[in-house]
């Protein structure tokens, strides 16, 4: 009888442990924008170190069947004549006789250079030779780490194309899609025009005490401008972080990157947050509440706390930040969405007035960034 009681107790303990572990994985997966199954697969790959080789060079596009090409290691060897393409296009070697690492109906891609790895994708810089006119230019390839991440990659392409549908001033603040593709393993990829700049994360590394306030202010305004435009189209970014704001110091341009977590007209579609970042995600994302424009504004406020040299997790802002700018930023951090500012365009003009009060009428001031 005692043995039976011990078995029952052990069974109950094991069952409770499994239930707790499952819900813990579910919460972790939710914060990463994954499901439990995909997260479990990643954990197994990490444990057994089964990381896929980068740059598998077999691709398809929306318009063409697959064209087998050699991977990066093989392509580095002396090249022989490339095989005829199965699709109605033929890969061409570069000026050094090396075959492309990726080929599509639009053109050929050479010399992959690893840039970064995010939660769902790896980024590579490459040279793109356009088939129609032979013009060559740098691009960035974004390749999903898992086939299950395809919907998020597709979401970014659809969102960016929608935002770029009407050409205008805001196009210069958004990444431009060259073409989507898919690897032989079934992983989605996107080719984007290359952008020349530094993320807010990289700028903070150059300015450990914080980006100079005068320059942080126009970065803030550019961010509000982009969000104002997106919100006017019914689109929320949904995952704004310091690495997603790219700044070009030379002409003060700013891009908002990574629209994989974008949410389109959530009140109509019922879409929720794809990810709840523990530091930059708004409180409503962690409560399972629907996303609204103030959700993006909360994240932008946290990013600017970091840009000013503060701690976004504890919401501390250095005393050196001018009081009007500090007070303006804190307005974004209200825990209740209804207490936060609601309109990015209105805030854009408010910040313009703060700028004029602090530094006088607008004039271009060179942003000198120390070498990294």
The reply to whether 355 and 231 lie within a common domain is yes
Least confident of 111-120, 298-307, 344-353: 111-120
Give the residue-averaged pLDDT of 320-340.
97
Give the residue-averaged pLDDT of 341-360.
97
The reply to whether 245 and 100 lie within a common domain is no
The reply to whether 144 and 203 lie within a common domain is no
Contacts of 152 (CB under 8 A, 6+ apart): 33, 120, 144, 260, 261, 274
> Encoding tokens for residue 368?
């000198």
- Which domain range does residue 147 map to? 58-193
The reply to whether 144 and 261 lie within a common domain is no
Q: How many domains does the chain have?
A: 2
pLDDT band at 67 (very low <50, low <70, confident <90, very high): very low
The residue among 19 and 262 whose pLDDT is bigger is: 262
pLDDT at 20 over 60: no
What counts of helices (H) and strands (E) characterise the chain?
11, 13
Last residue of a domain, one of 160, 193, 226: 193
The reply to whether 263 and 183 lie within a common domain is no
pLDDT band at 6 (very low <50, low <70, confident <90, very high): low
Within a domain: 296:
yes
Strand order in the sheet with 245-248: 198-199, 245-248, 253-256
CATH number at residue 223: 1.10.510.10
| Cβ contact 116:145 at 8 Å | no
Q: Select from 277, 271, 292, 319 the least CA-distant residue to 227.
A: 292
CATH number at residue 64: 3.30.200.20
Contacts of 63 (CB under 8 A, 6+ apart): 105
Within a domain: 217:
yes
The reply to whether 207 and 188 lie within a common domain is no
Average model confidence (pLDDT) across the chain:
82
Q: For position 260, what pLDDT does the model report? A: 97
The residue among 58 and 308 whose pLDDT is bigger is: 308
Within a domain: 370:
no
The reply to whether 219 and 345 lie within a common domain is yes
The reply to whether 178 and 272 lie within a common domain is no
Last residue of a domain, one of 193, 214, 238: 193
pTM exceeding the 0.85 threshold for the entire prediction? no
> Encoding tokens for residue 344?
């990015």
Q: What are the backbone angles phi and psi of residue 178, rounded to the nearest 5°?
A: -85, -50
pLDDT band at 80 (very low <50, low <70, confident <90, very high): very low
Most confident of 54-58, 64-68, 272-276: 272-276
pLDDT at 60 over 50: no
Q: What share of the chain is helix, strand, coil (3-state, %, to 5)?
A: 40, 20, 40
Within a domain: 34:
no
The residue among 52 and 150 whose pLDDT is bigger is: 150
Q: For position 183, what pLDDT does the model report? A: 84
Going 24 to 28 to 31 to 36, the CA torsion angle's sign is negative
The reply to whether 262 and 218 lie within a common domain is yes
pLDDT band at 295 (very low <50, low <70, confident <90, very high): very high
Give the residue-averaged pLDDT of 356-362.
95
The reply to whether 208 and 352 lie within a common domain is yes
Contacts of 5 (CB under 8 A, 6+ apart): none
> Encoding tokens for residue 151?
């919907």
Within a domain: 25:
no
Within a domain: 336:
yes
Within a domain: 164:
yes
pLDDT at 137 over 60: yes
Alpha helix positions (H), 49-93: 72-75
Within a domain: 16:
no
Give the residue-averaged pLDDT of 347-359.
97
The reply to whether 180 and 202 lie within a common domain is no
The reply to whether 296 and 229 lie within a common domain is yes
pLDDT one-digit tens code per residue, 191-239: 999 999 999 999 999 999 999 999 999 999 999 999 999 999 999 999 9
pLDDT one-digit tens code per residue, 82-124: 332 333 455 666 666 678 889 898 999 999 999 999 999 999 9
Q: For position 95, what pLDDT does the model report? A: 67
Give the residue-averaged pLDDT of 323-342.
97
Q: For position 94, what pLDDT does the model report? A: 66
Pairing mode, strands 177-183 and 188-193: antiparallel
Q: For position 32, what pLDDT does the model report? A: 39
Task: For residue 81, give the DSSP letter.
Answer: P
Last residue of a domain, one of 139, 170, 193: 193
Q: For position 336, what pLDDT does the model report? A: 96
């Amino acid at each position: 009888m005692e043995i039976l009681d011990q078995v029952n107790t052990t069974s109950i303990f094991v069952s409770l442990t499994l239930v707790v572990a499952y819900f813990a994985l579910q919460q972790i997966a939710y914060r990463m924008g994954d499901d439990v199954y995909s997260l479990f697969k990643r954990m197994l790959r990490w444990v057994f170190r089964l990381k896929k080789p980068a740059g598998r060079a077999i691709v398809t596009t929306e318009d063409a069947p697959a064209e087998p090409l050699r991977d990066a290691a093989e392509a580095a060897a002396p090249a022989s004549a490339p095989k005829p393409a199965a699709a109605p296009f033929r890969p061409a070697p570069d000026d050094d006789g090396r075959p492309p690492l990726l080929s599509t109906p639009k053109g050929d891609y050479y010399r992959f250079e690893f840039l970064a790895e995010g939660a769902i994708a790896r980024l590579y810089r490459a040279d793109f030779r356009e088939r129609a006119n032979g013009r060559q230019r740098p691009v960035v390839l974004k390749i999903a780490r898992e086939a299950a991440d395809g919907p998020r990659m597709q979401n970014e392409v659809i969102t960016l194309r929608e935002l770029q549908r009407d050409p205008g001033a805001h196009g210069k603040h958004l990444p431009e899609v060259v073409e989507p593709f898919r690897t032989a393993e079934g992983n989605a990829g996107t080719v984007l025009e290359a952008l020349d700049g530094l993320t807010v994360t990289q700028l903070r590394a150059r300015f450990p005490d914080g980006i100079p306030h005068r320059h942080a202010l126009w970065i803030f305004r550019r961010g509000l401008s982009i969000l104002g435009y997106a919100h006017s189209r019914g689109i929320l970014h949904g995952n704004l972080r310091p690495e997603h704001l790219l700044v070009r110091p030379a002409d003060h341009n700013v891009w908002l990157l990574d629209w994989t977590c974008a949410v389109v007209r959530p009140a109509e579609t019922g879409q929720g947050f794809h990810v709840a970042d523990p530091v930059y995600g708004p409180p409503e994302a962690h409560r399972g509440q629907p996303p609204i424009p103030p959700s993006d504004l909360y994240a932008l406020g946290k990013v600017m706390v970091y840009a000013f040299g503060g701690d976004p997790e504890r919401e501390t802002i250095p005393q050196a930040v001018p009081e009007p700018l500090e007070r303006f930023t804190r307005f974004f951090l209200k825990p209740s969405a209804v207490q936060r500012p609601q309109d990015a365009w209105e805030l854009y003009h408010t910040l313009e007035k703060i700028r004029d009060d602090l530094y006088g009428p607008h004039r271009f001031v060179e942003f000198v960034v120390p070498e990294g």
